[in-house]
Amino acid sequence: MASTDPRALRKHVPVPGDGLDAARMPGHWLLARLGKRVLRPGGVELTRWMLDALGVDPQDRVVELAAGLGATARLTLTRRPAAYTAVDRDPAAVATLSSLASPGPTKVRAVRSDAADTRLPDGDATVVYGEAMLTMQPDPAKRRVIREARRLLNDSTGRYAIHELCLLPDGLDPALVERITADLQDAIHVGARPLTPGGWSELLAAEGFTVTAQRTAPMALLEPRRLIDDEGLIPALRIAGRALRDPVALRRVLHMRRVFRRHNAHLGAISLLAVPTPSHA
């Protein structure tokens, strides 16, 4: 049986971004290179809420879009779904995900594909979810991914969930939205475009979903307490130690944290649960 120990996986499988300049690589890849495994804006707590809301059980066929390094996959597999398919376009991520072992009879596979064009069968999944990936896309690309999730889902039992950055509150001044977005893009070197809670709900509705549950959480990805809660004390200390030994990486991490703190009043994490809207054409 393949090991699910992240330390063992790291010895054999490169993380996304290995070999890239720390000054230029996307922020989530930099954090992964430092050893951070939980890269979701609301942390493990919001991910657990999402999985509880989805109600993943042994009858479900689950597809995770942009599955990354498998932190959520491991949580999903403890629920023993009938099947779990990880989709990611990064070969290092797919290699890591392919090494996952199920604790039960779950059929596990990882495919290298784009979240907007998975090439998986129509209507074969009962659960589809994605985390921390729609935020990074412009609006047309967001819509393509959500449309693909709708295509993958079984009409009668399908559930879809997302876990993303959000802007607070609804009705935020557009000039402030632009300033926050520009600061985020400068810090994480990715074209982050978060939406307000209402904006996320409207986007899902436009692509054939009805939101049935929603929860927000603080955006505290790089705060010490969240780091320990998400990673554990010893791994958190290792991450800090690696950053301290790499001046370029440390500057990037501190810059990201300053931006998150600067906009703390208007930055959050959100998870939404949705089901296919029966009347949607």
Residue 129: band (very low, low, confident or very high) from pLDDT cuts 50, 70, 90: very high
* Residue 16's pLDDT band (cuts 50, 70, 90): low
Give CATH for domain 6-275: 3.40.50.150
What predicted TM-score, i.e. pTM, was given to this entire model? Answer: 0.90
Q: What is the Cα–Cα distance from 24 to 180, expressed in whole angstroms?
A: 20
- The arithmetic mean of pLDDT across residues 41-48, rounded, is 96
Beta bridge partners of 64: 86, 129
Confidence of residue 12 (pLDDT cuts 50, 70, 90): very low
**DSSP assignment string, the chain:** -----HHHHHHHSPPTTTTS-TTTS-HHHHHHHTT-----TTHHHHHHHHHHHHT--TT-EEEEES-TTSHHHHHHHTT--SEEEEEES-HHHHHHHHT---SSS-EEEEEE-BTTB--PPTT-BSEEEEESSGGGS-HHHHHHHHHHHHHHB-TTT-EEEEEEEEESSTT--HHHHHHHHHHHHHHHSS----B-HHHHHHHHHHTTEEEEEEEEEE--TTSHHHHHHHH-HHHHHHHHHHHHT-HHHHHHHHHHHHHHHHTTTTEEEEEEEEEE-TT--
* Nearest C-alpha neighbor of 132 from the set 33, 269, 255, 24: 269
- The mean of the pLDDT values for the chain is 91
User: What is the reported pLDDT for 15?
Assistant: 61
* Per-residue model confidence (pLDDT) at position 7: 40
Residue 56: is its pLDDT beyond 90?
yes
| Model pLDDT, residue 121 | 96
pLDDT score at 92: 85
**Percentage above 90 pLDDT, the chain:** 78
Q: For residue 11, give every residue at least 6 positions away whose Cβ sits within 8 Å of its Cβ, in sequence order, or none.
A: none
Q: Which residues contact 107 (CB under 8 A, 6 or more apart)?
A: 82, 83, 84
CA 122 to chain CA centroid, nearest Å: 23
Q: What residue spans define the domains of the chain?
A: 6-275
CB neighbours (10 Å) of residue 51?
Answer: 21
Residue 18's pLDDT is: 63
